[in-house]
Structure 1
Amino acid sequence: MRYVVIGAGAIGGTIGGRLGQHGHEVVLVARGAHADHLREKGLRLLTPTGPVELNAPVASSPADVALTPDDVLVLAVKVQDASGLLADWAAAPVGGSTAGHVLPVVCAQNGVEGERLALRWFRRVVGACVFLPASHLEPGVVSSEGVPVSGGFVLGRYPHGRDELVEEIAADLAGAGFATAVSDDVMAAKRGKLLENTGNALDAVCRPGEGVDALREEARAEGERVLRAAGTPPLDRAAALPQLAALGFRTAPVAGAERLGSSSWQSLHRGGSVETDWLNGEVVRLGREHGVPTPVNEALQVLADASVREGLGPRAFGVGDVRALAAAAAGASGDPAGPA
């Protein structure tokens, strides 16, 4: 199989870099200065054990790739950027048909909305719950900080089930230096990862200091309550992918790179959009549907959106700003107690 990695940033660059390193045919899809650098000099994947250099074909749109029935599309952009790309790639010709009819798309994204979006255009959707510490802050360079494996994936058909294709993708990723598991209910694992990711916005918008850890715990607890109310229980990392703990998975220093923040922090640092509306915003949406207050997640969503809209960059707010907005949100929802 050839892997067409749509979005060769932190996650996609690590996936494509490792697969290419281990002999798999890869196409990297990127835009702008990053695409230019990849074409001219290739991908430089920095890891704790040294750099990996990959020269692979680079595309900026479906028109740049002659797709074949043996291709697997890996969607590694953030979910807020997914709809337009899914529609474009689904319409790309494959023989006498289209990609949406004959090719699988693997949704390697945070949140739980990517798969549902993909199913509008693709018949074969593979969910991927991603545990992969990585950074992308300059063109052509991706830093992958995980050891002794680069990260882990729980894979499964969406909306449920498994098949030979999922097993083959999992085997390819395992051979390329990732821990993998196949699940009949991949979305339970993705809901568990959603709870972890409620802290991304906090890392992105809030300055470090006393009270940050308490806010992080409250944001996660709100998520746990709304998932219970929705009848969609999560599966935590230890249960979904026990290999990571067994391997002693951790982050380690990478020469020439420093991990400065979460993926949401990196997005604000680059001046782009953030995925908070699909992480904390998912918790807020479910809370409104099921009558569960989510003031901390709502405050983080508002502050992340303001950071993008006003060009504030990362960590422009303090704990008191989050608390004040959370208190206002709690009052508006009729929760007199507010956050703890």
Structure 2
Amino acid sequence: MRILIVGAGATGGYFGGRLAEAGRDVTFLVRPARAAALTERGLRIHSPVGSSVGSSAGSSVGSSVGESVIPVKVVTAGAIDGPYDLIVLAVKSHGLAPAIADLRPAVGPGTVIVPLLNGMRHIDALVAEFGPNHVYGGVCMIAATLTDEGDIVQLTGLHRLEYGPLDGGPDPHLAAVTGALSAAGFDSEAMTTITQRMWEKWLFLASLGVVTTLMRSPVGDVLAAPGGPAFTERVMAEAVAIVTAAGHPPRDQALTFLRDSITNARTVPTTSSMYRDMRAGLPVEADAIVGDLVAYAERLGVDAPLYAAAYTNLSVYAGSRTA
């Protein structure tokens, strides 16, 4: 199966790198500068547990303990030579439109697209562009970041990928997609409830993002401050109310995961990707993660003052970057 990974950032680079390390036929669609760096240095993953793929795969070279150096194939926009069987789309929400334009030549009659973006707006865009038969739902759970040199640093041992048809029904390509994404050094599962899982991940990301960006601190520091636990509880309650009103009430296991993650943050330094991007002066996914939930709240009559405040705060930050 020919696999195209669109984006080689922290998410696409990690999962695509592990797939390449496991011997899958993987190509990264990246910008010219990233393509040159990957060709010269290989794709480098630093992990707290090292490579989770046996050396028999034969695709790691020059690795030290905790580091994988993986030779990878790259392609740039305009140089795609035909359709791919599986496209894993791993870009930030603000990079979706150019990514769609770049990957059009890679989509053939049997292509499956598994997007790993946050929120839900990207699903509408992909279905409108390529049709519902090509688009799966996708959820990834990983804490990772990029170094200045472009290396991927996995911050915890969590690395899980979930995917499946949006309607949860049978699909002729699912067995092949499952084979391609399984046994590659990370947790992977085909889901019949992928749309619900996407909403539940959105709940988690939004809660973590609002807490950390509004308070400009890791969750543990917020919980240790006067009023911090009550503030965090209100943030989570607002998110639960919004997604429930939208018709996707979180299941018990999702609520348990959310609360356990917040509780563990008292002893483990837990942040959000939006917080890390803000600290680095980078663009943030304010609209896709927070703004769309605020829009749902307004449309459905849900009181969500903390989310409204957080979205204003993020919008001010975004405006200051372009001023």
Amino acid corresponding to residue 22 of structure 1 in structure 2: A
Cross-structure match for 1:232: 248
Would you say 1:105 and 2:113 are equivalent positions?
A: yes
Aligned pair in 2 of structure 1 residues 235, 122: CA closer, same or farther (>3 Å)? Answer: farther
The Cα offsets for residues 290-329 of structure 1, whole Å up to 9 and x where unpaired, read as 11111111111111122222139xxxxxxxxxxxxxxxxx
Aligned pair in 2 of structure 1 residues 106, 176: CA closer, same or farther (>3 Å)? Answer: same
Distance in 2, matches of 1:107 and 1:240, equals 25
Q: 1:223: Cα distance to partner?
A: 1.6
Distance in 1, matches of 2:312 and 2:251, equals 28
Instruction: Return the match for 1:186 from 168, 178, 194.
Output: 194
Q: 1:174: Cα distance to partner?
A: 2.8
Residues 268-277 or 105-114, more deviating:
268-277
Extract unaligned runs of 5+ from structure 1.
252-258, 313-340
Instruction: Give identity over the alignment, percent.
Output: 26
Would you say 1:303 and 2:313 are equivalent positions?
A: yes
Cross-structure match for 1:217: 233
Aligned pair in 2 of structure 1 residues 141, 42: CA closer, same or farther (>3 Å)? Answer: same
Extract unaligned runs of 5+ from structure 2.
51-65
Distance in 1, matches of 2:178 and 2:256, equals 14
Aligned pair in 2 of structure 1 residues 298, 137: CA closer, same or farther (>3 Å)? Answer: farther
Distance in 2, matches of 1:29 and 1:205, equals 34
Amino acid corresponding to residue 58 of structure 1 in structure 2: V
Distance in 2, matches of 1:183 and 1:131, equals 14
Distance in 1, matches of 2:168 and 2:256, equals 15
The Cα offsets for residues 259-315 of structure 1, whole Å up to 9 and x where unpaired, read as 884211232244332112111212211111111111111111111122222139xxx
Q: 1:115·1:158 contact (CA, 8 Å) conserved in 2?
A: no
Give the TM-score taking structure 1 as reference length: 0.76
Q: 1:215: Cα distance to partner?
A: 3.1
After the TM superposition, which residues 130-145 of structure 1 pair with which residues of structure 2 at under 5 Å, given as runs? 130-145=140-155
Aligned pair in 2 of structure 1 residues 140, 55: CA closer, same or farther (>3 Å)? Answer: farther
After the TM superposition, which residues 1-340 of structure 1 pair with which residues of structure 2 at under 5 Å, given as runs? 1-31=1-31, 33-48=33-48, 49=50, 50-61=66-77, 63-68=78-83, 70-90=84-104, 92=105, 99=107, 101-123=109-131, 124-147=134-157, 150-198=158-206, 199-208=208-217, 209=222, 210=225, 211-235=227-251, 261-311=271-321
Q: How many residues align?
A: 289
Amino acid corresponding to residue 212 of structure 2 in structure 1: D
Amino acid corresponding to residue 305 of structure 1 in structure 2: S
Q: 1:87·1:121 contact (CA, 8 Å) conserved in 2?
A: no
Q: 1:156·1:162 contact (CA, 8 Å) conserved in 2?
A: no
RMSD after superposition: 2.9
Q: 1:152: Cα distance to partner?
A: 1.2
Aligned pair in 2 of structure 1 residues 233, 194: CA closer, same or farther (>3 Å)? Answer: same
Q: 1:125: Cα distance to partner?
A: 0.3
Distance in 2, matches of 1:33 and 1:212, equals 43
Q: 1:78: Cα distance to partner?
A: 1.4
